[in-house]
């Protein structure tokens, strides 16, 4: 079965995952982590993509991004991938590929899933048994959003600003949301949508998105869709 082209929809958040080849580490030191995150931020700015959230694990990275153009996310990820692999291979005296093929990406309905996706990312190190609490992990955006750090790489989404009228209120509300955690079904939907490229949202959102593209946006029986156009990644 031919793989689906990635779908990029300007103005909507996208959950992106990039893994190391054969699940090998993509970082070996804090210098590597800072370099990779700086490249993400630099190229997000260059390609007009807002970086809302991230979590950098040892062998993969999650990003929450909103592009202004259809080409923004693919161009950004291509630039990050090439430059980081050159840096990593030169520093660690290695050659060859670092990434497990193409990055994974899904379009998200913000009102339903953006904050949940942020919490999902924050809780990834907890699920992996690396830390007891998400604030104990240094390589995610969680500490920024609960007021324990300042990360200039980030552009908070309007839905985060809507959590409260003051920084303290927003930070407290977001911290409580993450402490409450996600249901198993929420985790499964967020994971499955990102890995398979299905749109993440309610039925109306998915149906409206499908009207704008030839590319299937949800799991279902294959068939020839009505021809329409949108910018795939």
Read off the pLDDT of residues 157-179 as tens digits, 9 standing for 90 and up. Answer: 999 999 999 999 999 999 999 99
Place of tokens 């161009």: 75
Answer whether residue 1 shows pLDDT above 90. Answer: no
> Which one, of 163, 138, 162, lies nearest residue 151 by Cα?
138
Residue 4 — pLDDT band, cuts 50, 70, 90?
low
Dihedral (Cα; 77, 78, 79, 81), 10-degree rounding: 80
180-208 average pLDDT score: 92
Mean pLDDT of the chain: 91
Taking only the tens place, the pLDDT of each residue in 19-31 is 999 889 999 999 9
> Which one, of 80, 99, 74, lies nearest residue 42 by Cα?
80
pLDDT recorded at residue 196: 86
pTM, rounded to two decimals: 0.91
Percent of the chain, pLDDT > 70? Answer: 92
51-69 average pLDDT score: 98
Residues 6+ apart with CB under 8 A from 18: 26, 60, 61, 63, 77, 81, 99, 100, 103, 104
Answer whether residue 229 shows pLDDT above 50. Answer: no
Residues belonging to the chain: 233
How many CB atoms are located within 10 Å of the residue 94 CB?
Answer: 10
Strands (E) located in 94-229? 104-107
Taking only the tens place, the pLDDT of each residue in 71-115 is 999 999 999 999 999 999 999 999 888 999 889 999 999 999 999
């Amino acid at each position: 079965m031919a793989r689906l082209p990635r779908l990029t929809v300007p103005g909507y958040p996208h959950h992106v995952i990039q893994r190391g080849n054969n699940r090998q580490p993509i970082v070996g030191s804090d210098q590597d982590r800072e370099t990779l995150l700086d490249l993400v931020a630099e190229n997000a700015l260059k390609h007009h993509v807002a970086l809302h959230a991230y979590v950098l694990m040892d062998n993969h990275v999650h990003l929450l991004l909103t592009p202004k153009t259809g080409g923004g996310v693919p161009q950004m990820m291509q630039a990050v991938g090439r430059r980081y692999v050159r840096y990593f291979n030169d520093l660690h005296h290695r050659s060859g590929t670092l990434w497990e093929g193409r990055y994974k990406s899904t379009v998200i309905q913000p009102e339903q899933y953006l904050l949940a996706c942020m919490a999902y990312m924050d809780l990834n190190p907890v699920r992996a048994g690396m830390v007891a609490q998400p604030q104990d992990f240094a390589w995610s955006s969680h500490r920024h959003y609960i007021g324990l750090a300042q990360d200039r790489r980030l552009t908070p989404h309007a839905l985060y600003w809507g959590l409260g009228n003051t920084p303290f209120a927003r930070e407290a509300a977001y911290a409580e949301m993450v402490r409450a955690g996600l249901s198993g079904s929420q985790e499964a939907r967020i994971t499955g949508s990102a890995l398979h490229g299905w749109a993440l949202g309610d039925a109306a959102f998915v149906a409206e998105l499908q009207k704008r593209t030839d590319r299937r946006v949800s799991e279902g029986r294959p068939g020839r869709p009505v021809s329409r156009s949108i910018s795939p990644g």
